[in-house]
Structure 1
Amino acid sequence: MSFRQQLATQLPYLRRYARALTGSQTLGDAAVRETLEALLEAPEEWDEAAPVKTELFRTFHRIWRSGMIVPLQSRGRSGVIAEFPIKRRQSLLLSTVEGFKAHEVAKILGISESDVHSHVVAARSAIEDALCARVLIIEDETIIALHIKQIVENLGHEAIAIVRTRAEAVAMARDERPELILADISLADGSSGIDAVKDILAEQTVPVIFITAFPERLLTGERPEPTYLITKPFEPATVIATIGQALLMHREIDINSEAA
């Protein structure tokens, strides 16, 4: 496989990470474009001995540190937001969602392995202690739905319902006003979780995490797409990290809106 092909294979996962980190498809995809532009402008900074995915993410963070890409910040950081400084978010997402080993995260972020471990532990603790929400689960596979429900409740969240179709999802969201939605893409009656979420978001603002076996199909950067994606089969740690980031970014946006 050529270098260009290897790079193209990893781009969907950088998009997923950038979107989760910024809480926005627009900001995340812009960050990825700037990363690719940086590669074209300074190819000599690419470490050819490193795995392509690791080096791609390292380049992304080199651009982030340069100040070209600015993560969302709240005015007057306090409470739970103060418990999630950017390095904690980055370390947690890179380790649990993107599957990098501690030494790879350390290289990507330019920090020590011990710092990576401490950031991940602190981030997980903050999620469990302070980010509680009412969660709607849209999933037609019973075993998966119950697994997600267990993870959600073990984190201290309230799983308000499990629904299996678009119509059920829209009706339940209208009645219960969830603070977070976890949604499969293909539902029991042949309907789409994406369409269900579009209907819900037309009536209320709520963070959504999509669950799919084929995340690369939704990470092309060519159309409005999910900000948060979990790949099937998933590890509990991946769900925990993504829930934490989604709730954190949504609450940060709320704080900014109130302060404006």
Structure 2
Amino acid sequence: MSLVANTAPHLPYLRRFARALTGGQKSGDAYVVSVLEALVEAPESFNADNDPRVELFKAFCQYWNSVPVNLARTEYDPDELQGTARRLEAITPLARQAFLLMAVEDFSASEIAYVLGKSESEVAGLIDQAGREIAQQVATDVLIIEDEPLIAMDIETLVKSLGHRVTGLARTHAEAIEAVEAHRPGLVLADIQLADGSSGLEAVNEMLQSISVPVVFITAYPERLLTGERPEPAFLITKPFQPETVKAVISQALFFERRAGR
């Protein structure tokens, strides 16, 4: 299959990534064109035996990172940061790439490692770094709805490690509603099955009738949410979870300011 045929289906996604990475449509598209021209001149650099999507993004990141100014971090006053594009510019360049590849383009850790020429542990570190830098911009108060004390403690530790504040721990539907009434959170992390047999999903639905807040469900029962019969949550983590996954999804939920479907 030709280089054009291999890459064409993935170009819209590469343009999306390039625009987010560079902060503008014109600059992003210009880099995409330059990368394609470089591939045409040296087609042997494109591994046709590998996933063409992965190879295309690898070629782009290699080209973008070869320009020294692109790897220089720009310092911003947090009060001046407005909009997703501006917040992206404030994230260290390599961490920004890893975060976008994970959060926007849905690459796996191993694919991101290949694209960026890093190890998987280095990629985890970059995404963790992006999470901390995002928290510097959008640090918020977090309500944790979880009936297992040890799991709640683990989640609280993860949340605090990113720079956020845990202002409520609830084990039941009633406690969750009371916590929201006492202190409005900027993020909710919720289990589905709670201590007294009540539902974390119902608690979240009740909250969302009066406030708009991003919600991440962390549950051992994902099938109760992924039924296709009603709006499904944008952010869902299955137990047992990996700490890196929780950190990444928290950062993603806050960064893009998306609200979970009820």
> How does the TM-score come out when normalised to structure 2?
0.57
User: Which of 197, 204, 223 is the matching residue for 2:230?
Assistant: 223
**Is 1:176 paired with 2:183?**
yes
Q: Which residue of 2 aligns with 1:204?
A: 211
Q: What corresponds to 1:141 in structure 2? A: 148
The 5 Å alignment of 1:1-260 reads 77-78=85-86, 80-83=87-90, 87-93=97-103, 100-101=109-110, 104-105=111-112, 111-114=115-118, 117=123, 120=127, 123-250=130-257
Gaps of 5+ in 1: 1-48, 62-73, 254-260
Aligned residues: 181
Q: Which moved more, 1:128-137 or 1:179-188?
A: 128-137
Structure 2 counterpart of 1:37: none
Q: Render the CA deviation track for 1:26-71: whole Å, top value 9, x for unaligned.
A: xxxxxxxxxxxxxxxxxxxxxxx98xxxx7x96xx9xxxxxxxxxx
Give unpaired runs (5+ residues) of structure 2.
Answer: 1-48, 58-81
Report SS of the residue matched to 2:198: coil
Q: Distance in 2 between matches of 1:244 and 1:143?
A: 22
Amino acid at match of 2:117: E
Is contact 1:136-1:178 (8 Å) kept? yes
- Deviation of 1:121 (Å): 6.0
d(CA) in 2 for partners of 1:138, 1:122: 26
Residue equivalent to 1:39: none
Task: Identify which of structures 1 and 2 has the higher relative contact order when contacts are C-alpha pairs closer than 8 Å and 6+ apart.
Answer: 1
Change (3 A) 1:124 1:233: same
Displacement, 1:125? Answer: 4.3
* RMSD of equivalent CA atoms: 3.7
Whose radius of gyration is greater, 1 or 2?
2
User: 1:168/1:120 Cα in 2 relative to 1: closer, same or farther (>3 Å)?
Assistant: closer
Q: Give TM-score scaled by structure 1 length.
A: 0.58
Distance in 1, matches of 2:237 and 2:85, equals 28
| Percent identity between the two aligned chains | 42
